[in-house]
Amino acid sequence: MANAYICDMDLLTNNDSGTTSDPRRVLVVHTFEGRDLDAAAMARYQQQPSAGGSYHLVIDKDGTTARENDDEFMPWAAYPTGNRIGYHFSLAGQAAFTRDQWLNRTAQLTKLAEVLAAYSMAYGIPLIRRTAEGVRAGQWGVCGHAEISGAFHESDHTDPGVNFPYDHVLNLANGIVNDLKKGDTKVTNLLDEMITVWDKTRHKVRELIANIDSRTHIMFTETLPRIEQKLDQVLTEQEKN
């Protein structure tokens, strides 16, 4: 199965609950907590069974990404219900960060926006923030582990924290999606123009092909035999001389 986003590295883990054919309806943001590890270190840590957790992908403070689970798998990210209904992305960082601390991590937030945009376009999940009540009601959108906890009460996690700048990240992500859609529109318009030109000129192309075919036929049935006959005459006269 193709993943919605191609990471900088794949360091897959066996920490998962297998695959599911159920549609995922939320894009879930987490924080890794603990030390501010790089993407490779986060992923390698979660390759260990003793880690007891995993995500679809992780993003470090420099914006480097590592994939831990392919999209079809259910990671150990937000307990049974959350694992089943979402795609899960963890940021190096802490839920206790202030808004300014998050906003200073430009590369990381920009990369998260790219990831959210890719998953939104691949799976039709809107880039709208959802509350715990909305998640519990089955609304599609973006949330954090905190909203999963509030919706299903299977954990008490509160990441990525009350100060996480969802507004900023979602503005970036929606901008990316809109730019991509504009690009698709330009391609579509170009194809439409090419089809219009073809419709207007195809009869001329057909006439040209018919003319070439007719001339080719004349060349093989009339012109070449005459040339061959003339050559035979010239060769015969040379032999006589």
Q: Going residue by residue through the chain, which has 241 residues, state the pLDDT in tens, using 9 for 90 and above.
A: 689 999 999 999 999 999 988 899 999 999 999 889 999 999 999 999 999 999 999 999 999 999 999 999 999 999 999 999 999 999 999 999 999 999 999 999 999 999 999 999 999 999 999 999 999 999 999 999 999 999 999 999 999 999 999 999 999 999 999 998 886 655 455 555 666 666 667 667 677 677 777 777 776 677 777 777 766 676 677 767 6
Q: To which residue do tokens 């403070």 refer?
A: 61
Residue 216's pLDDT is what?
Answer: 72
* Secondary structure of residue 66 in the 3-state scheme: strand
Residue 143's DSSP bridge partners are 28
H or E stretch at 44 = helix 39-45
0.95 cut: is pTM over it?
no
Residue 23 contacts by C-beta under 8 Å, 6 or more apart in sequence? Answer: 123
Return the percent helix, strand and coil in the chain, to nearest 5: 55, 15, 35
Q: How far apart are CA 141 and CA 150, in angstroms?
A: 16
Residue 211's pLDDT is what?
Answer: 73
Kindly report the number of other CB atoms within 10 A of residue 10's CB atom.
14
Residue 191's pLDDT is what?
Answer: 59
Query: Tell me, what DSSP letter sits at residue 23?
Result: P
Q: How far apart are CA 26 and CA 135, in angstroms?
A: 8
Q: How far apart are CA 150 and CA 142, in angstroms?
A: 14
Residue 184's pLDDT is what?
Answer: 61
Q: How far apart are CA 22 and CA 10, in angstroms?
A: 24
Residue 100's pLDDT is what?
Answer: 98
